[in-house]
Chains A and B, each alone.
Chain A
Amino acid sequence: MVAATTSDTVLPSPGGTVLSVLRKPSVLPGFGLTLGFTLAYLGLIVLLPLAALALKAAGLGWSGFWNAVLTPRVLAAFQVSFGLSLAAAAVNAVFGFIVAWVLVRYRFPGDRIVDALVDLPFALPTAVAGIALSALYAPNGWIGSLLMDWFGMKVAFTPLGIAIALTFIGLPFVVRTVQPILQDLPPEEEEAAAALGATRWQTFRRIVFPALLPALLTGFALAFARGVGEYGSVIFIAGNIPGLSEIIPLLIVIKLEQYDYAGAAAVGMLMLMASFVLLLALNLLQAWMRSRHAR
């Protein structure tokens, strides 16, 4: 602490003496300025508006809040959003794992282009993805017409369409969390297993897959979390029938358009709490992932 006060008297750092209690000594300037700006910006852009949501929802009172949230339509929307996000994340866990495996372990013509293309759902605006998917899977679309003719299956404007859009949106998450871990996997363990007489499948099941499981679950959870909040890519293909194919974000928009601000805030608050629980679970998963690979 003595060192901290001396360095602060030498360097012109705004509020330096107060901040020296907070931080360890450093000769670099600008701590007070940048931390002050960061906190002010974070507070104004993120924390204050989020507090407004909490305040508006709290204004309903305990019973008012639950009355606004526990309606059949809201509960159905939660069921649609969470259920279909789970299904889409599961599809992505399987195929995302295969894509990551193929990209890391095999070489084939165009593999680097495929690698770059995986990030398309991050880069493509969600509204563009939404209209493209709904045109593809509509009964007269390229894929929709085939599914209709072959299986008599309707995809666009049904819950299945929502799952398709959420699969598109969540695809990069699993690939991009599994890929680096698979890349850094030391070959020694696999070599040892093979040398000790394990078959390739045994090696994969007992050695490789357990090492990748934390990353796979993290990718799954990220895709799931993204799916629950997704709006743009879903609403075009969903059909948006209340109780059947209406997602929570759309219900919030509908409540806002009807000037039901309190109702929108209540549903939004519940969704925000769900996201925080997911975020917490994700942090625990990532801690587990780090501890596994720190060995």
Chain B
Amino acid sequence: MHAKKAAGFAPALADSRWVKGLLIASALAFLLLFLVLPLVSVFVEALRRGTDAYWAALVEPDAVAAIKLTLIVAAIAVPMNLVFGVAASWCIAKFDFRGKDLLITLIDLPFSVSPVISGLIYVLLFGLHGLMGPFLKSQGIQIIFAVPGLVLATVFVTFPFVARELIPLMQEQGNEEEEAALVLGASGWQTFWRVTLPNIKWGLLYGVLLCNARAMGEFGAVSVVSGHIRGETNTMPLHVEILYNEYNLVAAFAVASVLAMLALVTLVVKTVLEWRFGAELAATRH
């Protein structure tokens, strides 16, 4: 994508040198102020009292419990949305049926809902005073202020990620290869595992990557359903909030720096995928 620019423009079509310099300078200044400084400050604040204090904040029991819980929630929520994303894109991309556009809109819906509302709807449904609250209480099942609620809220906010990567990709690839496999005698499952999956694997990985980053970093939705019980229902972002509100800044930024590193790793892998498989993923860039 970079080869195309500038090269094709004759001097009369190019911006003058000072316009170019001014625009690059203002773009970089803006990004430095709004992206780079916040990112750098996370690590500077985390290491303010040295590496010992930094490490201590990460290995204390509540932090370890928060890290574990974050991993557990993501390990349940991401595969659920992975299976859903593959199933949804199979029926949407491979078949023509009435109401398809509506279905796609509904799948994207969670992206336009505030994270707080994503949590609120489960509290209204499963909370003690919610619609199903009395029934759940009589059965001894707790969803809100417990792990199932965290998982549900996380599944909701990460709902469209895999599907919206795969739908345009599978639509672009068409049905010919699958039809050929079926004609040659492969079963439906064989066709999916041997033909479809290898074709969509990078798009799938891309979707899972973004889904996972959001699942581990989600704050608003899980904050509403969590109840903030230390060591029990606190995920890493919630643990950061508690530490910050207790003015334990070094610990808050230490835990935050782990999340920031997760974000950086996500960005690096995402960028590598875009560089190497740009053509395959091109359809997925909105």
Whether the pair B244, A52 counts as a contact (CB closer than 8 A) is no
Contact with B along A28-56 (1 / 0, CB 8 A): 11110111011101100111111011011
Secondary structure class of chain A's binding surface, majority of residues: helix
Q: List 27 A-B contacts (CB under 8 A).
A: A11-B188, A24-B96, A24-B97, A27-B179, A27-B182, A28-B178, A31-B95, A47-B106, A50-B109, A50-B121, A52-B130, A102-B27, A105-B6, A117-B267, A123-B213, A128-B256, A128-B260, A131-B244, A132-B42, A135-B41, A136-B41, A194-B10, A232-B220, A253-B116, A264-B120, A265-B124, A268-B116
Chain A residues contacting B99 (CB-CB under 8 Å) are 22
Chain A residues contacting B159 (CB-CB under 8 Å) are 45-46
Chain A residues contacting B204 (CB-CB under 8 Å) are none
Chain A residues bordering chain B, tally (CB within 8 A): 104
Chain A residues contacting B120 (CB-CB under 8 Å) are 53, 252, 256, 264-265, 268
Does chain A have a CB within 8 A of B24? yes
Kindly state the separation between the CA atoms of A250 and B5 in the bound complex, as whole angstroms. Answer: 45
With both chains docked as a complex, state the minimum distance between the C-beta of B48 and any C-beta of chain A, in angstroms.
Answer: 10
Kindly state the separation between the CA atoms of A22 and B103 in the bound complex, as whole angstroms. Answer: 14
Does chain A have a CB within 8 A of B276? no
Does chain A have a CB within 8 A of B224? yes
Chain A residues contacting B37 (CB-CB under 8 Å) are 136, 142-143
Chain B residues contacting A121 (CB-CB under 8 Å) are 35
Chain A residues contacting B88 (CB-CB under 8 Å) are 34, 38, 42
Contact with B along A174-199 (1 / 0, CB 8 A): 00110010010001001100100000
Does chain A have a CB within 8 A of B223? yes
Chain A residues contacting B268 (CB-CB under 8 Å) are 116
Whether the pair B6, A34 counts as a contact (CB closer than 8 A) is no
Partner among A95, A124, A168, A271 whose Cβ is within 8 Å of the Cβ of B114: A271
Whether the pair B121, A53 counts as a contact (CB closer than 8 A) is yes
A11's closest neighbor in chain B, by CB? B188
Kindly state the separation between the CA atoms of A163 and B97 in the bound complex, as whole angstroms. Answer: 44
Residues of chain B from 56 to 105 with CB closer than 8 A to chain A in the complex: 84, 87-88, 90-92, 94-99, 103, 105
Does chain A have a CB within 8 A of B45? yes
Chain B residues contacting A41 (CB-CB under 8 Å) are 84, 87
With both chains docked as a complex, state the minimum distance between the C-beta of B238 and any C-beta of chain A, in angstroms.
Answer: 8
Residues of chain B from 154 to 178 with CB closer than 8 A to chain A in the complex: 155-156, 159, 175, 178
Chain B residues contacting A35 (CB-CB under 8 Å) are 91, 95, 97
- Supposing A106-B23, A136-B41 touch, asked if A229 and B219 sit within 8 A by C-beta, the answer is no
Does chain A have a CB within 8 A of B280? no
Does chain A have a CB within 8 A of B229? no
Does chain B have a CB within 8 A of A26? yes
Chain B residues bordering chain A, tally (CB within 8 A): 108
Does chain B have a CB within 8 A of A261? yes
Kindly state the separation between the CA atoms of A124 and B36 in the bound complex, as whole angstroms. Answer: 12
A-side residues, CB < 8 A to B, are 11, 19, 22-24, 26-31, 33-35, 37-39, 41-42, 45-50, 52-53, 55-56, 95, 98-99, 101-108, 111-112, 114, 116-129, 131-133, 135-136, 141-143, 164, 167-168, 171, 176-177, 180, 183, 187, 190-191, 194, 200, 203, 225, 228-232, 236, 248-250, 252-253, 256, 259, 261, 264-265, 268, 271-272, 275-276, 278-279, 283
- Supposing A26-B175, A30-B188, A125-B218 touch, asked if A53 and B124 sit within 8 A by C-beta, the answer is yes
Residues of chain B from 1 to 51 with CB closer than 8 A to chain A in the complex: 1-2, 4-6, 8-10, 12-13, 15-16, 19-20, 23-24, 26-28, 30-31, 33-39, 41-42, 45
Secondary structure class of chain B's binding surface, majority of residues: helix
B-side residues, CB < 8 A to A, are 1-2, 4-6, 8-10, 12-13, 15-16, 19-20, 23-24, 26-28, 30-31, 33-39, 41-42, 45, 84, 87-88, 90-92, 94-99, 103, 105-107, 109-110, 112-117, 120-125, 127, 129-131, 152, 155-156, 159, 175, 178-179, 182-183, 188, 191-192, 210, 213, 216-220, 223-224, 236-238, 240-241, 244, 249, 252-253, 256, 259-260, 262-264, 266-268, 270-271, 285-286
Partner among B8, B39, B87, B240 whose Cβ is within 8 Å of the Cβ of A187: B8
Whether the pair A37, B87 counts as a contact (CB closer than 8 A) is yes
A286's closest neighbor in chain B, by CB? B286
With both chains docked as a complex, state the minimum distance between the C-beta of B262 and any C-beta of chain A, in angstroms.
Answer: 8
